Homo-oligomer: A and B are copies of this chain.
């Protein structure tokens, strides 16, 4: 057991913190370039592709700072997810070049996997890929994509065979965003971040666009999902910290009935409960980070599901308390806590919400496997 940051991890934390505390969150492109300069964009990619082979703790370190500063940096969708996927794909010259370009910030890629009817199920892919004489043709729609404006490459999951939900038949493709038939529309989510929907109409791809198929593709998606879930747990911890700090500061300064409201014991006790929720979330984020690479699929998803359920609960409790303890100002756009609250609601449903992960744990007989299972095990709970 060793729960101390290494020297490198401490340096990483310091430099990300410095980067995000200096920049205004408005210019997403500039922040992205700065991330590249710091080496953050190389971090999630494997060394043999020219990446820095950072682990899940490193990704959480980055995301914790992102959360703390409420930065709108699509680090998970454009770095953590692609890194996890490409790390499981056979190394090719084209991928090496792409990773190098991503790492230096000159090109961008994002994962385009989610679909409208997926509801957190990993294998729910309706987008079809047909083999043709000259390669593949893709048709379908991808939603909820966390990306950067003008992204260059999409990593798209599509189905070569089978029906939506089947664990077999899925393939992964590298799709340049400017190909004919690719229509991307970005839109603002309620928390102020940017999401995208991509329509794919008869998108023709050469044979080497295929990154992985079948078991390989599912394994890569599973790993990306696990790594992303872990990373978003880091972001959650950062937001929880920010909300607690803001609230404690507010309790100390806000005057009412002739003194700071922080002198009221009822409010002190609620702040203490918020602290407890933060500490428990921190522990479960740690659990998530060390569980992403567990070889046993069921064990892995037990731990990840438990982490997300607990972190969602902490987000909900701390978010509600932070807003409530701020009173009227807490529900305004100009208040940091109000904006944090919106982000919590988005993170709660990133990579599986509480309904989903409790159902996963239910299937698997609970976190400790004490209970009889309720259904044939479909390990990460993402299959239909």
Contact = CB atoms under 8 A, between A and B. Distances in A.
A324 to B, nearest CB: 12
Interface in A242-273: 264-269
Contacts of A268: 266
Interface residues of A, number: 6
A265 B267 CA distance: 9
Contacts of A269: 266
Nearest to A272: B266
Interface string A44-62: 0000000000000000000
A360 B167 CA distance: 36
Contacts of A267: 265
A269 B268 CA distance: 13
A266 B262 CA distance: 12
Interface of A: 264-269
Contacts of A264: 265-266
A219 to B, nearest CB: 35
Nearest to A264: B265
A251 to B, nearest CB: 13
Please list the 8 inter-chain residue pairs (A to B) with the smallest Cβ-Cβ separation, ordered nearest first.
A265-B266, A266-B266, A266-B269, A264-B265, A265-B265, A266-B268, A265-B267, A264-B266
Nearest to A270: B266
A314 B213 CA distance: 55
A265 B261 CA distance: 12
Contacts of A266: 264-266, 268-269
A268 B267 CA distance: 12
A268 B268 CA distance: 14
A227 B222 CA distance: 55
A267 B265 CA distance: 9
A13 to B, nearest CB: 36
Given A265-B265, A265-B267, A266-B269, 5 more contacts: A264-B265, A264-B266, A265-B266, A266-B266, A266-B268
Contacts of A265: 264-267
A205 B266 CA distance: 65
A351 B107 CA distance: 67
A267 B268 CA distance: 12
A267 B266 CA distance: 7
A264 B263 CA distance: 11
A227 to B, nearest CB: 36
A265 B266 CA distance: 5
A328 to B, nearest CB: 20
8 contacts: A264-B265, A264-B266, A265-B265, A265-B266, A265-B267, A266-B266, A266-B268, A266-B269
Nearest to A265: B266
A266 B270 CA distance: 9
Nearest to A268: B266
